[in-house]
Structure 1
Amino acid sequence: MKKILIADDSFFQRKILTDIVSDMGYEFDAVGSGEALLEKVNDSYDCIFLDLLMDGMSGIDVLKALKERENKVPVVVITADIQKARKDECFENGATAFMNKVVSKDELIEILNGVFNQPK
């Protein structure tokens, strides 16, 4: 069974994401900060959902730290920030996919299907 790690400082957003991935039959862990994600992440996860704008470490900071660790787990950035430059920066730092908030179940399913059907 696929396992997803979710990092978002908004309880509401974490709840939306965890409800959707749970309904889809995936296992998950959810954390409220970039620091907590970095403490928890390992190769047992099949995908990471990462909020871009968080207190403490930003999503960009987390992406850079994951890149330094040579992270192989696909990272889906989720944000309300829709600037092209920000999106490009995410991809340059290792993001696999990019979703805008508010997350819809259909979009999340499409993204996960793409992530899980890519060769590692």
Structure 2
Amino acid sequence: MISSILVVDDSKSSRKINLAMVRELTGENVTCLEADSGEVALDILGSQRVDVVLLDLTMPGISGFDVLAQMRSKHLHGRVIVVSADIQRLAKERVASLGATGFIEKPIKIEALRAMLTQLGAIHE
């Protein structure tokens, strides 16, 4: 069962929109967390259980690619859905090789997020 979702994006407006969609889809059943950088995301992932991460790729400092790599090397758990405007095949292949569960094109459409969260068991249709 999914009880927590972490939304990681350096853009405050993107974070707010993504959090609002997650809350709309999951209701009160899921705790929503947020991080404005890869560094903050890794701190959260290292200190508490997170079931699903919505992860932006392009961020200053520690990028989404770096977060995925560090999650793997530090054995941090959580299924990662990459959220990015970089929809190139190579980017998708790279995040998959780093352990990402899914990929959603930015800006997120609620239908795509619903499908992914349903697949992961966070919501039930």
Take 2:105 and 2:24, find their aligned partners in 1: how far apart are those partners? 20
Q: Are residues 1:36 and 2:40 paired?
A: yes
Take 2:74 and 2:54, find their aligned partners in 1: how far apart are those partners? 17
Q: TM-score, normalised by structure 1?
A: 0.91
Take 1:45 and 1:60, find their aligned partners in 2: how far apart are those partners? 18
Q: CA deviation at 1:58?
A: 0.7
Could you list the runs of 5+ residues in structure 1 that have no partner in the other structure? none
CA contact (8 A) 1:75 1:96 kept: yes
AA partner of residue 36 (structure 1): V
Deviations 1:7-50 (A, max 9, x none): 10001110111101111213201110000000011552210010
Could you list the runs of 5+ residues in structure 2 that have no partner in the other structure? none
Take 2:15 and 2:93, find their aligned partners in 1: how far apart are those partners? 24
CA contact (8 A) 2:84 2:105 kept: yes
Q: Could you say what secondary structure the match of 1:45 adopts?
A: coil
CA contact (8 A) 1:10 1:32 kept: yes
Q: Are residues 1:88 and 2:93 paired?
A: yes
Q: TM-score, normalised by structure 2?
A: 0.88
CA contact (8 A) 2:50 2:77 kept: no
- CA RMSD after TM alignment: 1.4
**Overall identity of the aligned pairs, in %:** 33
Correspondences of 1:1-120 after superposition (within 5 Å): 2-24=3-25, 25=27, 26-42=30-46, 44-116=49-121
Tell me which moved more, 67-76 or 46-55: 67-76
AA partner of residue 67 (structure 1): R
